Structure 1
Amino acid sequence: MAVHDPENSGEPAGRGSALSVRELIDSVPVSWFQHRVLLLCVLLGLADGFDALAIGYLLPSMAKEWGVSPGEFGPAITVGLVGMIIGTTMIAPLADRFGRRILLLAATLLYAVFTAAIMLVSSVTLLAVMRFFAGIGLGAVLPNLVAVAGEVMPGRAKGRAILVVLSSTTVGGFLAGLVAGWLVPAFGWQSVYLVGVVVPLVLVGIAWRTLPESMDFLAVRGKTGAARRTLGRIDPRFAEVDIDFAASAPAARTKRIPIGRLFAGGRRLNTALLWTSWFACFVILYFLYSWLPTLLTRVGVPQSIAIMTMSLALLASTVGGLVQGWIIDRRRDFVSLAVGLPISVVLILVVPSTFANSALLMVVICLIGFLAVGVSQALSALSSALYPVEVRATGVGWAFGAGRIGSLIAPLVGGVLITQGVAGELILRMIAVPAAIAAISLIVLVVRLGRTGGTPADAADRSDERSVLAGDADRVAEAPARPDR
């Protein structure tokens, strides 16, 4: 039976041949219930990003109170990132066995509990322990938020929903900066973590009552009654529809693709350039996330201005990633990715000359966030275009893994440089090195793609109207190697 066009009829398919859950969801307009689920996913993403990125704003205050060098926090930051990777790669996939809902609630409770414990510690060693276990919870949340948003929304809105959820974590980091700038001077750094504990606990209480379990998961487990009740909350008329729940089961996982396939068929140089770009971009990203407020305060910038600058840079990077996705969809090429980073190199070198002018400093840092960090958020689109469909998920997963190496190295290198007493101005200028490496790699890669018709590979096989960026974000979120941030 043909599924009705919701924009023309607004009615679900009627009786006749059985339809899958996905076909039913795609056959009707988006309901208030679906919007409410998406809103809850966004709020959980905001809380996740808040707790994950808050430490960057709080390091100066914590170091001062504990009487240690800010550089000594490098291992603690890295250990937290290791926890996130474990949470993403080992804990998040357990949702396929126990369900999205219970995994999300448990992971949120886990990071909330260990974030609360951070308020009680007074040493870098204990901080690292708490950050590790909090990181496991933080890492397990986002992939399942992406999965829930993708499963509850129709195909025509799935990509946009996923982009909104992915962006919510960075916006959460922006909000952490606003809260830190307000609370730290009056109540100390612990007050920011208190907010980071109370908010997720409240959201867990709300989600316990309102967040539905994945209908695909329920169908696979034979809980068709519960799946039908959830469908009825999307559209009551589904009670009259014959549903093929067996067809709703996710397709069996394909066999793992050997990594050598990523270097076959003339893809060797392209893969090397792609991995270099991911690595260098993530060095920039996590260096700024971890050390920017600390470095700015070391060179005499008031702490409130340093926190606000970091916060606005996070917001600018989110906007930059969304703009990059829009440009890629409009132009059907990746030229825009090769433009922002060369400009960022110049801006990074200019940063030290803006320390005396707070407004100019904020503008320059925000432009770096928009251009350089925004590019890093759009790299998954380029990764998807580089590989044919049969090796695409493997290609994207390994590229993201290369980026994760950069995310682990950046906090450690920054900590060592600060501990060794390297001038803050010089450390900030050193960020131009990975920016230049990323710029050169991306320019060469984009030129190579342009010579071979640099449009997204296998674009014809996309059955819905998702953007390249959003569609690939979905693939990355489902890939085993996908970290949460």
Structure 2
Amino acid sequence: MVCFLTIAIDTYDAFAVGFVVPVLIQEWHLDKAVFGPVMSASIFGMAIGALLAGPLFDRTTPKTVMVASMVMFGLCSLGSTFAGTPLSLGIWRFLTGIGIGAAVPGATTLVYEYAPARRSGLLVNTMACGGMLGAAACGMTAGMLIPAYGWKSLFMVGAVIPIMLAAVVHFTMPEPLRFMVMRQWPADRIAAVLRRIAPAHDFEGVRFAFSEEQAKSAGTGMAVMLTKPLCTGTLALWVTYFAGTFAYYLLMGWMPTLIQESGATLRQATLATSLLALGGIIGAFCVGWLMDRFERNSVVALAFAVGGVSVWLIGQQAHNPVWLTASIIVAGMGLNGAMFSMGALAAAFYPTHGRSSGIAWMYGIGRIGGILGPITGGILLRTNGAEAFFAVVATTILIPTLALWAKRWAQSGVREQQTLQDDVKAG
């Protein structure tokens, strides 16, 4: 629950500036184009934060990075209330983004480490759905607080809650279990955590250790990602998350405008975008459930494929409300459901000593796609029509399908090689 709320407040802080800008345009008497870089600053900061988190995980602990980053983005959200120009606000949003980007990989690692193996995909995806709660809460809070207390009140809420959650994480949440074993922490500290999970068991005098294969492969997280057995899979995850985030922000940023231009009202366009998010929540649970029962790469690849085809259908059904609605929901189930599942997919792929760093770098590379997506959308709409726009988005979404099949093929080859080596040793 704590990690779920952490993802929720992360998303709240990331979305807050979007509700503040319309007020600042009037209050500061500036053109809306001036705030474009301000709105992108937090996304850029998230990318930097995720990339910086990788080395920090190797030097400290996942929980330490998570707590420190939550305090950072809480304080920087508070700093946003002192902004008096778009430049100063953009700087504060950039720093807030760094904190947000560094916190998410730690939360994903903690949930995966303590989730039952048979439900790890579903539970990590459930945590990711906290983002939808955060986005909805941000909109509701903005509607209540800004008219009564001004735009600064929205950032105040985004400052207090993460600092409170950081205290809860620090005093109640343990470090990842395998991480403690890998770092050879005292057995009594590890046993104390296990007693909280299984109070009926006695861990007195128990020694905790990795298997022989895990011990041989130990190393720093950053180095593990690009070792020969994991290199292809790492690149596939980067390509997948980059392309998926590119398409997600491109679609979410411009779809309301495109639907309005097709003859819909603002209310209908907003509803359509909400249906995309609703489909994502349904998709996250469905894909997570399937990941725990079938081959994970294939499940997520299929979700991306469904999302890509459905996005293409959105461009073909602009004047057919029934089919348009159905296409939007299914597109959300496919694209958003697959994107929510990437944390669980990366967590299952990397060994303990590379898990947090692997997740962090996947998120960091992907955020760059989120920066480029809306910019590309503007170029596409100036030079091509809506159908071409949706065709480009659909094609981009299909790229992860190919990347994940390559990852599956590479993992199969590694397993076959390991089996052959084991047979030779046995002989």
Give the TM-score normalised by the residue count of structure 1. Answer: 0.64
- Give 1:114 shift: 0.8
- Farther-moved stretch of structure 1 (89-98 vs 249-258): 249-258
- Compute the displacement of 1:112 (Å): 0.8
- Aligned partner of 2:312 in structure 1 is 345
* Equivalent residue letter for 1:370: M
Is 2:69 the partner of 1:114? no
- Alignment-derived partner of residue 252 in structure 1: 218
More displaced stretch, 128-137 vs 300-309: 300-309
Do 1:284 and 1:373's aligned partners in 2 also have CA atoms closer than 8 Å?
Answer: no
Q: Report the Cα offset of residue 361 of structure 1.
A: 8.9
Give 1:28's aligned residue: none
* CA distance in structure 2 between the partners assigned to 1:309 and 1:244 by the alignment: 56
How far the C-alpha of 1:208 sits from its partner, in A, is 3.6
**Counterpart residue identity of residue 341, structure 1:** G
Letter matched to residue 67 of structure 1: H
2-side partners of 1:279 and 1:178: how far apart?
30
2:48 is the counterpart of 1:86: yes
Measured in 2, the distance between the counterparts of 1:125 and 1:416 equals: 25
2:93 to 121, 131, 149: 131
Does the C-alpha gap of structure 1 residues 430 and 281 become closer, same or farther in structure 2, counting only changes over 3 Å? farther
Task: Note if contact 1:91-1:140 (Cα within 8 Å) is conserved in structure 2.
Answer: yes
- The answer to whether the 8 A contact 1:59-1:294 is kept is no
Correspondence for 2:421:
none
Aligned partner of 1:41: which letter? C
Partner of 2:422 in structure 1? Answer: none
Per the alignment, residue 409 of structure 1 pairs with 372
Measured after TM superposition, the shift of residue 213 of structure 1 is: 3.6
Number of the residue aligned with 2:103: 141
Matched, 1:436 2:402: no
Counterpart contact for 2:25–2:31, Cα < 8 Å: yes
Q: Which residue of 2 aligns with 1:283?
A: 246
Seen in structure 2, the aligned counterparts of structure 1 residues 111 and 297 have a Cα distance that, compared at 3 Å, is farther
Residue 369 of structure 1 is matched in structure 2 by 332
Distance 1:292 1:187 in 2: 31
331 and 203 in structure 1: CA distance in 2 versus 1, 3 angstrom threshold: closer
Change (3 A) 1:147 1:160: same
Q: 1:152 to 1:199 in 2, by over 3 A?
A: same
Q: Taking structure 1 as reference, are residues 343 and 237 closer, same or farther at Cα in structure 2, changes over 3 Å only?
A: closer
Name the CA shift for 1:399/1:137 in 2 (closer, same or farther; >3 Å): closer
Query: What is the CA–CA distance in structure 2 between the aligned matches of 1:217 and 1:442, rounded to whole Å?
Result: 30
1:373-405 deviations in whole A, cap 9, x for unaligned? 3344456899999x999xx99999988776443
CA contact (8 A) 1:111 1:138 kept: yes
Shift of 1:326: 4.2
1:232 correspondence with 2:191: no
Alpha-carbon separation, structure 1, partners of 2:347 and 2:6: 27
Does the C-alpha gap of structure 1 residues 292 and 93 become closer, same or farther in structure 2, counting only changes over 3 Å? farther
Kindly indicate whether the alpha-carbon contact (under 8 Å) linking 1:325 and 1:378 is maintained by their aligned counterparts in 2.
yes
Q: Secondary structure at the match of 1:195?
A: helix
Check conservation: 2:284, 2:337, Cα contact below 8 A: yes
Alignment of 1:85-234 (within 5 A): 85-91=47-53, 93-219=55-181, 220=183, 222-234=185-197
C-alpha distance 348-176 of structure 1, shift in aligned 2 (>3 A): farther
Structure 2 partner of 1:314: 277
8 Å Cα contact 1:107-1:140 kept in structure 2? yes
- Whether the 8 Å contact between 2:74 and 2:96 is mirrored in structure 1 is yes
Q: Using the alignment, how far apart are the partners of 2:147 and 2:413 within structure 1?
A: 53
Would you say the 8 A contact 1:92–1:139 is kept in 2? Answer: no
2:286 alignment partner in structure 1: 323
| TM-score where L is the length of structure 2 | 0.71
Q: CA deviation at 1:87?
A: 1.7
**Which has the larger helix fraction?**
2
Q: Which structure 1 segments of 5+ residues have no match?
A: 1-38, 462-485
Query: Quick check: 1:179–1:192 contact (8 Å CA) kept in 2?
Result: yes
Q: Distance in 2 between matches of 1:113 and 1:295?
A: 37
* CA–CA separation in structure 2 for the residues paired with 1:108 and 1:384: 21
Deviation at 1:110, TM superposition (A): 0.5
Moved more, 118-127 or 375-384: 375-384
Q: Distance in 1 between matches of 2:282 and 2:391?
A: 24
> What letter is aligned with 2:191?
R
* Unmatched 5+ stretches in structure 2: 417-427
Structure 1 position 169, deviation (Å):
2.8
Cα gap change, 1:346/1:167 in structure 2, threshold over 3 Å: closer, same or farther? same
SS at match of 1:252: coil
Asked whether the equivalents of residues 104 and 144 of structure 1 are also in contact (C-alpha less than 8 Å), the reply is yes
Give me the whole-angstrom Cα distance separating, in 2, the residues matched to 1:260 and 1:210.
Answer: 38
Residues 108, 416 of structure 1: alpha-carbon distance in 2 compared, 3 angstrom cutoff: farther
Go from structure 1 to structure 2 and tell me whether the alpha carbon gap of 1:397 and 1:50 turns closer, same or farther (over 3 Å shift): closer
**Structure 1 contact 74–412 (Cα < 8 Å) conserved:** no
Q: What SS class does the counterpart of residue 129 from structure 2 fall into?
A: helix
Q: Distance between the aligned counterparts of 1:77 and 1:331, measured in 2?
A: 39
Residues 316/292 of structure 1: CA separation in 2 closer, same or farther (3 Å cut): same
Counterpart in 2 of 1:474?
none
Q: How far apart, CA to CA, are the structure 1 residues paired with 2:96 and 2:12?
A: 12
Q: Which amino acid aligns with 2:174?
A: P
Q: For 1:231 and 1:170, locate their aligned partners in 2 and report how far apart those are by CA, in whole Å.
A: 32
C-alpha change, 1:313 and 1:378, in structure 2 (3 Å) is same
The alpha-carbon deviation at position 70 of structure 1 amounts to 3.5
Which letter does structure 2 place at the counterpart of 1:313? Answer: L
Q: How many residues align?
A: 401
Deviation sequence 1:408-444 (CA, Å, 0-9, x none): 21244467899xxx69xx8976641432322564677
Percent identical across equivalent pairs? 27
1:350/1:181 Cα in 2 relative to 1: closer, same or farther (>3 Å)? farther
Aligned counterparts of 2:386 and 2:156: Cα–Cα separation in 1: 31
